[in-house]
Structure 1
Amino acid sequence: MKQSYRIWSLMPILFFSLFLLVSPTLAQKTTSSVVPLGQSIQIDLQYGAVFISNDVLLTDDYWLRAGDSIQQINAEAVTSMEDVRKHVNEKVQATIHYERNKKMYTKEITSDQMLKLLPFLRDATEGIGTLTYYDAETNEFGALGHQIVDHTTGITPKFSEGSIYLSSIEQIRKSIPGKPGYKITSHKNNTSPIGGVNENNVYGIFGKLEANAFQDNSLQEVEVADKEAIMTGEAIMRTSIDGEKVQDFAIEITTVEDHLFQFTVIDESLIEKTGGILQGMSGSPIIQRDKLIGVVTHMYVDKPKNGAALAITEMMKKNP
């Protein structure tokens, strides 16, 4: 079983405002129906490039910095770790060409320096989150409700391809005030992805599910509610905290402001097990009066029962 401990889905920050214009496509989405999900997923993004994950001191006065990307070694293009490893055992000096802040640099390095650099190179990233919805007609999905930012480099990764896998919740570390909890998940190494990722933007990740990703007839479409329909009061958060099981938990929407709203977990069974909101729950759909209204995006570190959400119509715009 492959375990995933990297989590960016519910960062320990207050929620942020998105001031964006309403596009014509938004009006079309307000009357559509989608399937609200709630399954835990592992997300794998292949960069199509090789990045340095930490600052590395090559010599007494020469640093490579986190976020630098290696473009070439000698005269050969570099797009993956496999390209780099071909040069590791050559035992000769190599010339690396790397990019920093859109400028190119060149550095001669020894084979020993190449070995020193190798543990700090990466061509992919992974993490966990929650599936929000999919469109039964097109198989398009949305997840997370916010952008993936690489937790090590702090950059928003460009990627050449991405995949999502269903994951199983193995353990829960409860949230307590001042210390966000998280899920420990796993998925079998030989399992196939259930979908591909083609966008990573401020609204979340988006792509298409495989045709056989969900064959459960109990999955029901619901109407997508416009942001004006979101009201204070009780609602349901749909998420996974036990294996692959998806459950509904009661929340109380406390404030609504344009396309953002805040809520409090009131379901005692969820509070008992998780302490409230966990890292890994971002993307959990929120349903009110049998309509999909929003998506969990953030938590409050000092008050883990409290969370922030984005109106689903805002998320479904996909582009600012």
Structure 2
Amino acid sequence: MTSKSKLKVSIGILLLLLFLLFPFLTDMKNIISIPNEMITFQSDEPMSIPNLGSDYTVTSDNNNIVAEDSKIYPNEVGESTLVYKKANFPVKKVNVSVLSDKKVIPGGQSVGVQLHTLGVLVVGHHLIHNEGDTISPGEEANIHVGDVILEMDGNKIKQLEDVKPIVKKAGENKENISVKLKRGKEIVNTKLEPTLNKKENNYQIGLYIRDSATGIGTISFYDEDSGKYGALGHVISDSDTKKPLEIHNGKIVRSTVTSIEKGNQGIPGEKQAKFSMKDKQLGSITKNSPFGIFGKLNPELLGENHQKSMPIGLSHEVEKGPAHILTVVEGEKVEKFDVEIINSIPQKTPATKGMVIKITDERLLEKTGGIVQGMSGSPIIQNDKLVGAVTHVFVNDPTSGYGVHIEWMLDEAGINIYNQEKEAS
């Protein structure tokens, strides 16, 4: 046989093998595409599962779920294993978690926010003029912008008023001040020598410091079972240092939206709101994280006509397509506005940017130009489930922005929707 004939035979055999293996390779591709894990809630509608054809059967190892007609029916809370078989031979196993039902009240209310920092935050240096010298004692002591002053001479510093008497005493006694700082995750100790500002006739340390921050935001959810809430959907950072505020405590009060500064390309818009921190406190702030602010809420803030509690939707349940948000654009009235979910990423671990949304409601676009500051935290609802909250606007396209999946906000609030499932396993 010539080499040419051998080549033809080899090609023929190869083509025959590909023909025979093609169905198997297609099956393998479909099998690999089936997820290894599925999660659903006990009261959810049946969940569709991949159908590999009439040659395959799907069974469950217990009564927590029932597999039938390319769907699984949640039955009892707990863990199950779904098994795909061909000719009674297992080809794929899928872990299925049935979670106990979880409902929360979606928010949308506008709130005034005040945070008190852990210690006092250094936001800048300033120079002190004294007998021809111009110095900043704080800068010379290697105190950085963004540092948090925790203690001075062994005294805990909780607010601005705690600093002045310590500086005055040390200055009059010509003594240095021992300063304990928090710099990121590091604790730093240094010595600080107050300097007399003769023009103002007081001792100063050459630092600009701050102990609180205020602003407005939107409530995302309220959990009736625990009294906990979540808002904003993103961390609150200091306006000067741009670093996240480490908080000691905080509070929220009712706020009234008075006007809207519309957003344009390159310039984010903003809600203007009226509130007073002297008003009745309607909620505490115990946590400031990348997923928002969290604490306990007085349900009085929700008002008489608040939304009813609704199921939550996990990240893998969010679909591209129509949805709506709840927010305030005038006064204290919570209204519904249409949006479209452009993209959503199923997430197994917490992440802040899980969705991309676009405002499609003509009335909201006319009023705000899209997503504006103060709208952060507005709940996102799809298929009668609370699925997330608005977080950031795209500066170059104010009609669009990011959303965070609601399961991560609940987790940050200390509401563990997986807890019962974990105990069952």
Equivalent residue for 1:33? 103
Q: Distance in 2 between matches of 1:143 and 1:75?
A: 36
TM-score by length of 1: 0.83
Structure whose CA Rg is larger = 2
Q: Distance in 2 between matches of 1:266 and 1:145?
A: 21
The alpha-carbon deviation at position 117 of structure 1 amounts to 4.0
Higher helix share: 2
Equivalent residue for 1:110? 195
Q: Which 10-residue stretch deviates more, 167-176 or 89-98?
A: 89-98
Q: Structure 1 residue aligned with 2:398, among 298, 304, 311?
A: 304
Mapping for residues 130-145 of structure 1, pairs under 5 Å: 130-145=218-233
Q: Structure 1 residue aligned with 2:379, among 277, 285, 300?
A: 285
- Unaligned runs of at least 5 residues, structure 2: 1-38, 40-77, 79-96, 129-133, 348-353, 417-425
Q: Structure 1 residue aligned with 2:159, among 80, 90, 97?
A: 80
Is residue 150–residue 182 contact of structure 2 (8 Å, CA) maintained in 1?
Answer: no
Cα separation, partners in 2 of 1:299 and 1:184, compared to 1, 3 Å: same
SS at match of 1:316: helix
Residues 3-62 of structure 1 deviation map (CA, whole Å, 9 limit, x = unaligned): xxxxxxxxxxxxxxxxxxx9x9xx787831110011111221112412211133454475
Q: Distance in 2 between matches of 1:124 and 1:61?
A: 23
Q: Distance in 1 between matches of 2:384 and 2:100?
A: 14
Q: How many residues align?
A: 295
The alpha-carbon deviation at position 95 of structure 1 amounts to 3.0
Equivalent residue for 1:47? 117
- The answer as to 2:359 corresponding to 1:271 is no
Equivalent residue for 2:144? 65
Q: Distance in 2 between matches of 1:167 and 1:317?
A: 26
- The answer as to 2:173 corresponding to 1:97 is no
Q: CA RMSD in A?
A: 2.7
TM-score by length of 2: 0.63
Q: Which has the higher contact order (CA 8 A, sep 6+)?
A: 1
Q: Structure 1 residue aligned with 2:296, among 193, 201, 208?
A: 208
Cα separation, partners in 2 of 1:106 and 1:29, compared to 1, 3 Å: farther
Mapping for residues 308-319 of structure 1, pairs under 5 Å: 308-318=402-412
Is residue 168–residue 203 contact of structure 2 (8 Å, CA) maintained in 1?
Answer: no
Q: Distance in 2 between matches of 1:267 and 1:35?
A: 23
Is residue 94–residue 110 contact of structure 1 (8 Å, CA) maintained in 2?
Answer: no
Cα separation, partners in 2 of 1:161 and 1:28, compared to 1, 3 Å: farther
Mapping for residues 83-232 of structure 1, pairs under 5 Å: 83-87=162-166, 92=172, 93=174, 95-98=176-179, 99=181, 101=183, 102-112=187-197, 114-115=203-204, 117=206, 120-210=208-298, 212-232=300-320
Residues 251-308 of structure 1 deviation map (CA, whole Å, 9 limit, x = unaligned): 1111222241211111111111110000111110011121111111111001000111
The alpha-carbon deviation at position 246 of structure 1 amounts to 0.8
Cα separation, partners in 2 of 1:117 and 1:309, compared to 1, 3 Å: same
The alpha-carbon deviation at position 79 of structure 1 amounts to 2.3
